[in-house]
Amino acid sequence: MAKGDDAVTRCDNCSGACYAPCTRGAVTLSAPERIQPAFTGVEKYGVRSGMNIDAGVACGVVGLAAGVPAAGATLAASAERGVRLTHGWWLGGGGSLVHVGTVAAATGVTAAAVGVRLGWSLALPAFVASAVIGVVLAVIDMRQRRLPYVLTVPMYALCLISFGAESILTGDYSPLVRSALAGAATFAGFLLLALMFAGQLGLGDVVLTGWLAMALGWLGWDRVALGLLTGLILQALVGAVSRARHRAGLRRTLPMGPALVAGWLVGILVSTS
């Protein structure tokens, strides 16, 4: 058969397609059937499984660059007046080299890990932004015991835009619906807990948890459960250690943001399949 024909012959005795007829076990394939993608590790919902080094490197560079202004944002937040960006915040806000370097390294590594795990898609920008903002919020919560709405609320819109674009591209809207349901259900559940146990859970924690669950919902309900459960377990462990170290002291208010962000990252990186 000529090499330019619309069909080739695949032989059960050969390792590939043959352009000359074989004498045994030949199966004829049409032209569309013989077209195979170069990379087949594609998971559902527009994210890739396995290692995606190119996406990881690109996201790591973005996260590292974003870490410098992110460090400035962590210093611009206070418990009294919220977040007020000062002059030069995009260059670190006058923070020490150690502080700026630590925040930049954290955002870079987190964004790179997300990129390696998920790979290229229109949903990826929402996860990279979540990685950067998540690190910022974790630092602010540890320093000031607050999670500013100016950082958490816009992430809902970004996730909707990014996930919506991927859904339009693929024609599959089920992940978008699941993401919205996960965010709404988690927000409502944690809001109820905050009202029932006043002082134990702040509204900032509720808003943060809803957004993180919304992002994990894009990947699957199992990721939502894993991420939230991991965050709550980490928070319980931190609380137990804190109580053991301060038995005779006053009751301490512990930040919940770092544990929730860590749980979100585990929900992305750890495969449940």
Q: Hey, how many other C-beta atoms are within 10 angstroms of the C-beta on 68?
A: 19
Domain limits, the chain: 1-36, 44-248+257-269
Query: Distance between CA atoms of 120 and 122, rounded to whole angstroms?
Result: 7
The string of pLDDT tens digits covering residues 89-103 is 667 777 889 999 999
The string of pLDDT tens digits covering residues 43-60 is 454 454 457 999 999 999
Rama region for 62: left / alpha / beta (φ>0; ψ in -120 to 50; rest): alpha
98 burial via Cβ count (<10 Å: 0-12, 13-18, 19+): exposed
The string of pLDDT tens digits covering residues 162-221 is 999 999 999 999 999 999 999 999 999 999 999 998 777 889 999 999 999 999 999 999
Is 176 within 8 Å of 164 (Cβ atoms)? yes
Is 230 within 8 Å of 213 (Cβ atoms)? no
* Angle, in degrees to the nearest 10, between helices 97-118 and 53-76: 140
Task: Give the pair of three-digit tokens for residue 112.
Answer: 């790179």
Query: Distance between CA atoms of 35 and 63, rounded to whole angstroms?
Result: 36
Q: Measured on CA atoms in the order 65, 66, 68, 71, is the torsion positive or negative?
A: negative
Question: For residue 128, which of 223, 63, 219 has the smallest C-alpha distance?
Answer: 63
How far is C-alpha 260 from the chain's CA centre? 12
| pLDDT (0 to 100) of residue 209 | 97
